[in-house]
A and B are shown apart, each in its own frame.
Chain A
Amino acid sequence: MSIILDHVNYIYGGDTPLAVRALDDICLQIPDGQFIGIIGHTGSGKSTLVQHLNGLLKASSGSIYFNGEDIYDRDYDRKKLRSKVGLVFQYPEHQLFETDVFTDVCFGPKNLGLDKKEVELRAYDALRKVGLPDELFYQSPFDLSGGQKRRAAIAGVLAMKPEVLVLDEPTAGLDPKGREEILQQIRELQKKTGMTVILVSHSMEDVAEYVDRIIVMNRGRVMYDDVPKEVFRHGKELEEVGLAPPQVTYILQELRRRGLQVDTDATTVEEAADVVMRALQYVT
Chain B
Amino acid sequence: MGIIKAKDVTFEYIRRDEDGNVEGLTTAVDHVSLDIKQGEFIAVLGHNGSGKSTLAKHINAILYPTEGTVWVDGMDTSEEDKLWHIRQTAGMVFQNPDNQIIGQVVEEDVGFGPENIGIPTKEIWERVEESLKIVGMYEFRKHSPNKLSGGQKQRVSIAGVLAMHPKCIVLDEPTAMLDPRGRKEVIRAVRALNDVEGMTVILITHYMEEIIHADRVFVMDKGRIAMEGTPREIFSRVEELKELRLDVPQVTLLAYELQKRGVGLPDGILTAKELAEALLRTENV
A→B interface (CB under 8 Å) = 40-43, 99, 140, 143, 145-147, 169, 172-179, 202, 204-205, 242-244, 246-248, 250-251, 254-255, 257-260, 269-270, 272-273, 276-277, 280, 283-284
Once A41-B149, A251-B250, A255-B275 are accepted as A-B contacts, the answer to whether A173 and B245 lie under 8 Å apart by CB is no
11 contacts between A and B (CB under 8 A): A41-B181, A177-B246, A244-B181, A248-B251, A251-B251, A254-B272, A259-B280, A260-B276, A270-B257, A276-B279, A277-B263
Once A258-B280, A260-B279 are accepted as A-B contacts, the answer to whether A173 and B49 lie under 8 Å apart by CB is no
Contact A42 B179 (CB under 8 A): yes
CB distance from B179 to the nearest CB of A (A): 5
- Interface presence of B247 (CB below 8 A): yes
- Interface presence of B7 (CB below 8 A): no
- Interface presence of B232 (CB below 8 A): no
How many contacting A-B pairs (Cβ < 8 A)? 123
Contact B181 A283 (CB under 8 A): no
B273 and chain A: residue at smallest CB distance = A254
Closest 5 pairs (CB-CB, A-B): A177-B245, A242-B181, A176-B247, A254-B272, A146-B48
- Interface presence of B277 (CB below 8 A): yes
Which range contains the number of B residues in contact with the other chain?
A: 35 or more
B147 and chain A: residue at smallest CB distance = A43
Contact A175 B181 (CB under 8 A): no
Q: Which residues of B (224-255) have their CB < 8 Å from a CB of A?
A: 242, 245-247, 249-251, 253-254
Other-chain contact of A242, B176, B180, B249 (Cβ < 8 Å): B180
User: Chain B residues with Cβ under 8 A from A257's Cβ?
Assistant: 276
User: Chain B residues with Cβ under 8 A from A276's Cβ?
Assistant: 254, 258, 263, 279
Other-chain contact of B179, A41, A175, A179, A259 (Cβ < 8 Å): A41
Which of B46, B50, B245 gathers the greatest number of chain A CB atoms within 10 Å?
A: B245
The contact string, 1 if C-beta is below 8 Å from chain A, for chain B 127-161, is 00000000000000000000001110000000000
